[in-house]
Structure 1
């Protein structure tokens, strides 16, 4: 009930995407099935191709489509269409080829044209099989469409993704149960229509798609301009982008900020920014140098102060990608290695170098990004000479793993609330491996030049938010289950950055 507005919006997004994909798949598959009904060899080849396409893992397919068509709705619909082709094509083909030949001969004897024979004889007789394929495709599409949230297309999967990230089963159930109910309702509707005129199926779906699409257009048209602010996975980016939204909308009444929380990992967001799929997202100085820009060789091994790190990151982003990187906030959110306090005490661990003597005892749970990024585990092996057993987890799940004893070490950020919640000890980076990580808003130069007032609004956060502030806010979201928007609002009001609503 608390999230009914979000649920309705997400359900409309999910339904819009699903029905549009279903219609496109039907428009492609049904004519092909009709054409190949008299060409069995061609039909066999097409069935094989459609079967192979359906075996491609959905995440892999979305990953392949992103470089070609960007992020958001487009790759989602393409992927869903690909998965829906097989059941619709197969059932349409079977329905048309299993019609009693004597009925076709009778239609020819009456002098029916090809189109009239199709509409009056073949499609009505094949309708049960065709609608069976549509029902199968529809259920498949609705279930797969939950992955749309991973690439910024919204839908009911956003609740599931958010629930996993925050270890909140309520959110997972909202998304999962709603998606299941949607599939059951639409499948039942198609079954009901099968007992009447099958043409109403396509007509009703078209009306729904046009209706929801128009509704979304009207909603977005209410504001003079809509900008998109996205954040990485986790509570901290979610808090920051809500601060951005509230500051921007307070100072710029004619601008509506659309948030895309838990939007993805670093390179995903950066590519989305370059492709104009999003307008702003918070990024960290150390991440810029390690992942997003090419650092000159003479600076690659140079130790930098936090200020030098920011200046270098800002300069290289401007030169290489024509980006504007605003002034950073105060707190450092650098990487760290954390172990249970009891494990640290038993093995006398205070710094990362101490791990050399107990490498065989370490069972680490790291995020995929930390395992892969240059300043993550690869650099730990290089600088500290360590090599221990590792497993990959999504960010929130690694903490669940160390809580349950499945691992005894995780990568962490210095402001993570879980460090306190699960009584973890951060090992000192005694060789100063991890660079400075201070967060700031990142956007294209063209966007910044066009929106100087937005830049001014976001610069209010420069030098603000201490590590203690951020750790507390993360705790409020992750442990006390407060909404990121509420936590962000309370901080901004408390520090005089936002006027309190009366």
Structure 2
């Protein structure tokens, strides 16, 4: 009963966000299905007289469906950026096969005697198609559309990974915060949406062909009008601030918004939390899909500017990253906060005491006992696991995991060593000890707002407002704020606002 109560409480608290996510999910799904229909049906009509070409296309669309959705999204990002466009393209790719296959089968399996009767009546090819063939094939075609719709709605949850929004935001946020209620809200909503849309499309199978055409035409006109209005409305003077997945980035972007609005209450500021990984955000910033996001100095040098050498002092690291961003990408990197959210290697406190572990180097004595779970980013980075293994002469089995899942796994004793960020609230929540980096291999990671130089010059008041955080927020303070959001389940907005008020950075 407690779990049900928690679910209902979370549902009530997130009802506004749920409605917004449903709208985003429907919009992405609608356009993906419409485009897939407009490609697949005419193509099937054309190739029905060329069976060999039809078989090639069937094989091709079948192969496209086997491409993992995450891989497809990753391939599209360099070409079309992030957000709604790559999500829709990926969904169209997955939706083509059922619609094309059903249309082709429906048209080619019409009784030959029916075709002969239409020819005997002197019907032209186009008239026969519209009056005889399509009406007879329509139930099978609608069945293919129905299958594609269900497939699209399910796959569209992954659109949240590239900043396209939708119900996937709830699922990703639930995984990140170990909140089953959020995961269930996203999953159940997607399932109910798929059932509802499947039912609505099934009604089309019972309608006359001409009414189906009228209805589809009306949907295209209305949908196109709404999309056009949305595009125009987004051309206003809006400031879009995005953050990576997690409580800490969401706290920071809420601080950014409050600081900007404190200076100018009329400023229209939109937040995009849980927007994606570093590469997604940076691509969005360069393409002006977002205006500001918090980035860390170590990540700038390692991932964005690919610096050949990393300085030792925090000030030198920041200055090098700032200069390289300005030269290479025409970016402005504002002054950093005080805390250092660097990498660490953590074990259970009980495990550390039992094996007398104080430093990363001490792991050498227990290598045979180690079972690690680490984030994919840490495993891939040259200043992550690779550097730990090389500098500390360590080698142990490692499983790649989502960041939050590795904490749950070490808590359940499925693994006994993980990577972490020094400000993670889970370190306190799960009673973990961060082993001392006695060889100082991890660089400094201080967070600061990142924006294009063009945007910074256009909005000097925003630069002034955001620079109020320079040198502020200690590691203990940010860890406590993360704990309040992740464990005490306070909203990031309220936690951020409380900090700014308490430290006199904004007016009450």
Seen in structure 2, the aligned counterparts of structure 1 residues 307 and 437 have a Cα distance that, compared at 3 Å, is same
CA distance in structure 2 between the partners assigned to 1:450 and 1:120 by the alignment: 59
Q: Which residue of 2 aligns with 1:433?
A: 441
Q: Which residue of 2 aligns with 1:162?
A: 173
- 1:255-307 deviations in whole A, cap 9, x for unaligned? 322222222222332233223232211111122222222435xxx265x2222
CA distance in structure 1 between the partners assigned to 2:225 and 2:495 by the alignment: 35
Q: Which residue of 2 aligns with 1:447?
A: 455
- 1:182-202 deviations in whole A, cap 9, x for unaligned? 111111011112111333552
Alignment check: 8 A CA contact 1:232 1:266 kept: yes
Taking only aligned residues, the RMSD between alpha carbons, in angstroms, comes to 1.7
Alignment check: 8 A CA contact 1:190 1:201 kept: no
Matched, 1:123 2:134: yes
Alignment check: 8 A CA contact 1:16 1:208 kept: no
Seen in structure 2, the aligned counterparts of structure 1 residues 201 and 98 have a Cα distance that, compared at 3 Å, is farther
Seen in structure 2, the aligned counterparts of structure 1 residues 117 and 250 have a Cα distance that, compared at 3 Å, is farther
Q: Which residue of 1 aligns with 2:465?
A: 457
Matched, 1:213 2:227: yes
Per the TM alignment, residue 357 of structure 1 is displaced from its structure 2 partner at its CA by: 1.3
Matched, 1:291 2:303: yes
Superposed counterparts of 1:104-253, under 5 Å: 104-197=115-208, 198-200=212-214, 202-203=216-217, 205-206=219-220, 209-210=223-224, 212-213=226-227, 216-217=230-231, 220=234, 224-253=236-265
Alignment check: 8 A CA contact 2:162 2:275 kept: yes
Q: Which one of 64, 72, 89 corresponds to residue 100 of structure 2?
A: 89
Alignment check: 8 A CA contact 2:82 2:283 kept: no
Q: TM-score, normalization: structure 1?
A: 0.95
Q: Which one of 18, 40, 47 corresponds to residue 51 of structure 2?
A: 40
Superposed counterparts of 1:252-263, under 5 Å: 252-263=264-275
Q: Which residue of 2 aligns with 1:489?
A: 497
Q: Which one of 456, 464, 467 corresponds to residue 475 of structure 2?
A: 467
Seen in structure 2, the aligned counterparts of structure 1 residues 272 and 467 have a Cα distance that, compared at 3 Å, is same
Superposed counterparts of 1:15-94, under 5 Å: 15-94=26-105
Per the TM alignment, residue 4 of structure 1 is displaced from its structure 2 partner at its CA by: 1.6
Per the TM alignment, residue 423 of structure 1 is displaced from its structure 2 partner at its CA by: 0.6
Q: Which residue of 1 aligns with 2:354?
A: 346
Alignment check: 8 A CA contact 1:23 1:202 kept: no
Seen in structure 2, the aligned counterparts of structure 1 residues 217 and 250 have a Cα distance that, compared at 3 Å, is farther
Alignment check: 8 A CA contact 1:331 1:438 kept: yes
Seen in structure 2, the aligned counterparts of structure 1 residues 448 and 476 have a Cα distance that, compared at 3 Å, is same
Per the TM alignment, residue 371 of structure 1 is displaced from its structure 2 partner at its CA by: 0.6
Q: Which one of 329, 340, 351 corresponds to residue 332 of structure 1?
A: 340
CA distance in structure 1 between the partners assigned to 2:300 and 2:231 by the alignment: 35
Matched, 1:310 2:321: no
Alignment check: 8 A CA contact 2:82 2:280 kept: no
Seen in structure 2, the aligned counterparts of structure 1 residues 301 and 123 have a Cα distance that, compared at 3 Å, is closer
Q: Which residue of 2 aligns with 1:412?
A: 420
Alignment check: 8 A CA contact 1:317 1:323 kept: yes
Q: Which residue of 2 aligns with 1:275?
A: 287
CA distance in structure 2 between the partners assigned to 1:266 and 1:16 by the alignment: 26
**Which secondary structure state, in structure 2, belongs to the residue aligned with residue 339 of structure 1?**
strand
Structure 2, unmatched stretches of 5+, are 1-11
Q: Which residue of 1 aligns with 2:7?
A: none
**Which secondary structure state, in structure 1, belongs to the residue aligned with residue 440 of structure 2?**
coil
Structure 1, unmatched stretches of 5+, are none
- 1:292-330 deviations in whole A, cap 9, x for unaligned? 22435xxx265x222222122212222222211100111
Seen in structure 2, the aligned counterparts of structure 1 residues 131 and 427 have a Cα distance that, compared at 3 Å, is same
Alignment check: 8 A CA contact 1:234 1:395 kept: no
- 1:26-59 deviations in whole A, cap 9, x for unaligned? 1111011111111111111111111111111111
CA distance in structure 1 between the partners assigned to 2:452 and 2:35 by the alignment: 35
**Which secondary structure state, in structure 2, belongs to the residue aligned with residue 291 of structure 1?**
helix
Per the TM alignment, residue 114 of structure 1 is displaced from its structure 2 partner at its CA by: 2.0
CA distance in structure 2 between the partners assigned to 1:406 and 1:239 by the alignment: 31
Matched, 1:370 2:373: no
**Which secondary structure state, in structure 2, belongs to the residue aligned with residue 387 of structure 1?**
coil
- 1:82-112 deviations in whole A, cap 9, x for unaligned? 1111000000011111111121222222222
Q: Which residue of 1 aligns with 2:388?
A: 380
